[in-house]
Amino acid sequence: MFQRICKGHKQDGERCRQAPLHGEEYCFWHHPEHEAEADQARKLGGQRRRREKITEGAYDLEGLASVPALRRLLEIALLDTLGLENSISRNRALMSGVLAAAKLLEVGEQEDRLSAIEAALGPRLVRRDGRR
């Protein structure tokens, strides 16, 4: 019977909690036969994180957790698309971007209206379960 967690240990000495490879005792990261591949994957992961930080700074991105952040990313994509040679594909991409922008404007407007309603109701706003 095979183990449910890897027999390997992390750098801090704590037991690895990854699932082992099928029919093995070690996960990908700790398996002796995959050592070179795991090292390469770690290296690429570090490079990717650095590249993400550089890109976020260059484009002034704040993630994707808010309507303004999504608008910023869409704006960048549309501006880059506008710089391409005129083609049917470019025009389709622009139309898709316009539709996405319209949806973001709609969502943003709904958020603003809901915030205004909540501010106007203030302490009177109580949910059916009694919580605020």
Span 71-86, mean pLDDT? Answer: 92
| pTM strictly above 0.75 | no
92 and 84 Cβ atoms separated by less than 8 Å: no
- pLDDT tens per residue across span 11-62: 888 888 888 888 888 888 888 888 888 878 777 777 777 777 777 777 777 7
SS3 15: strand
Report the interhelical angle of 67-82 vs 35-59 (nearest 10°): 90
